[in-house]
Amino acid sequence: MSDETARQKIMNFLARYFLIFQYNFKKRGGWSSKRNIAGILLILWGFYTWMKEKGFLPKKSVRGKHVFITGAGSGLGRLLALKFA
């Protein structure tokens, strides 16, 4: 699939979704609704994740660099330290 075809599909999807979202956004209270704000954040996070997976956003590499991890004694810090080791 070419880049142009993928871009067109993305734009068509976003256009359709925006019309539905716009109607429901106003119906549920606009910017004052916590549900709407949570929905927007979820959509943005999903879009960011999708863009990163497809390679549209650059991935950072720490290969050959020093990584400073705090809290490496337990929990998430320990898992990160083991992953980077």
Enter the DSSP assignment of 57. S
Q: With a threshold of 0.75, does the pTM exceed it?
A: no
List the structure tokens of 60. 């950072």
C-alpha 76: how far from chain center = 21
Mean pLDDT, residues 19-31 taken together? 73
pLDDT band at 83; cut points 50, 70, 90: confident
How far is the CA of 48 from the CAs of 56, 60, 75, in angstroms? 10, 15, 26
Residue 3: what pLDDT? 62
Whether the per-residue pLDDT at 4 is higher than 60: the answer is: yes
Q: Across residues 62-80, what is the average pLDDT?
A: 82
In the prediction, which pLDDT does 22 show? 72
